[in-house]
Amino acid sequence: MLHYPEQFIFEISGIIDRFVDWILDTFGGLFDVITTVVLALFNGFDFVLSAIPWWIYIIAVAYLGFKLYSYLGGLILATMLFLIAMFGLWDPMIYTLVIIFISVFVSLIIGIPSGIIMAKSKPIESIFKPILDGMQTMPSFVYLIPAIMLFGIGRVPAVVATTIYAVPPLIRLTYLGITNVNKEVVEAGKSFGSTPAQMLFKIEIPQSISTIMTGINQTTMMAMAMVVIASMIGAEGIGDEVLISIRRLEVGRGFQAGLAIVFLAIILDRILQGFASKFNRTEGLDV
């Protein structure tokens, strides 16, 4: 009576293993195609970003900070980027940026159309909302499991897990942007005989662009957070530096890598927020 009876134990691990084997046997070709595409994207982004000299990045960040904020803002952002290079983490930073850019790129392809469809269809909305709620409350480590299960270890599962984790904010904010478009503007478009496509591309998307940009910003920040965790499944970059420092108990190395992650996150966040503010001001003038 003190122990749980063995006859009531029912383990589902065997069922799950057989289900995974069936997925791999049935859709193995599809996963190979996805792997090939992701690797091609990764190599392409890596080639382009690695070919740009480091000082051009710093000048570009300083210029964007100046245009979006002020001289001081540009100087601070450029200094943060320079400190990452000074820490000896430039190449890991580029690797991290490649994963982030690919994840955000794929999230844009998936997220914006999904948000639009969700805003246009009540049945789709009722299906998507609980799924998005579940995805946004799911612990980030859980996303590593299907990625490893389907793609093994390395950069491909890191990109897949990062994309799945990062896409929900973009879907939700695209949906909110489309549904919150000024009703009077929508009615004016309909009164002039605009087709649904014209309504979408000439009225609804332009009017909701600032909200969509906020979604892109949130998706980028989510991708930034997940890239660090993805180092546990073979993704290199700055997150790998943190993982190595934990394994070796090298506090200084871990703190340095942590600062680099913070600096990179601040740079990306401020630039994207600046663009979102620009769009918001432009939208206000248009209205």
59-63, 115-119, 163-167, 195-199: segment of lowest average pLDDT: 195-199
pLDDT digits (tens, 9 = 90+) for 148-190: 888 888 888 888 888 888 999 999 999 998 888 887 877 777 7
Mean pLDDT over 262-287 rounds to: 75
Residue-wise pLDDT tens digits, 9-42: 777 777 877 887 888 888 888 888 888 998 898 8
CA triple 30-34-37, angle to 5 deg: 140
- Has residue 6 got a pLDDT over 80? no
| Residue 105 confidence (pLDDT) | 92
Residue 283: pLDDT band with limits 50, 70, 90? low
Q: What is the mean pLDDT of residues 59-86?
A: 91
Tens-place pLDDT, residues 218-258: 999 888 888 878 888 877 888 888 888 888 888 888 889 88
Q: Which residues contact 176 (CB under 8 A, 6 or more apart)?
A: 208, 211
**What's the rounded Cα separation, in Å, for the pair 158 and 33?**
16
What pLDDT does 205 receive?
83
Q: How many CA atoms lie within 13 A of 198 on its CB side?
A: 10
Percent of the chain's residues with pLDDT above 90: 28
Length of the chain: 287
Which has the minimum average pLDDT: 50-59, 61-70, 134-143? Answer: 134-143
pLDDT above 90 for 77 = yes
Give me the pLDDT at residue 287, please.
42
Q: CB within 8 A of 63, min separation 6: which ones?
A: 74
Q: Which residues, including other chains, have CB under 8 Å from residue 144's CB and lie 6 or more apart?
A: 157, 161, 229, 230, 232, 233
pLDDT score, position 282: 56
Q: Which run of H or of E encompasses 34?
A: helix 13-51
Distances (CA, A) of 151 to 24, 76, 158, 225: 10, 40, 9, 21
pLDDT, averaged across the chain: 85
Q: Which residue has the tokens 């969509």?
A: 212
Phi–psi pair at 236, nearest 5 degrees: -85, -160
**Which domains, ranges and CATH numbers included, belong to the chain?**
12-51+87-286 (1.10.3720.10)
Residue 7 confidence (pLDDT) above 50: yes
Q: Which residues contact 267 (CB under 8 A, 6 or more apart)?
A: 61, 77, 80, 81
DSSP per residue over 170-218, as a string?
Answer: HHHHHHHHHHTS-HHHHHHHHHTT--HHHIIIIIIHHHTHHHHHHHHHH
C-alpha torsion sign, points 140, 41, 236, 73: negative
Buried b (16+ CB within 10 A) or exposed e, 246-264: eeeeeeebbebbebbbebb
Alpha-carbon span 218 to 199, nearest angstrom: 26
Query: What is the spatial distance between Cα 194 and Cα 196, in angstroms, rounded to a whole number?
Result: 7
In this predicted structure, which of 108-122, 177-191, 208-222 has the lowest mean pLDDT?
177-191
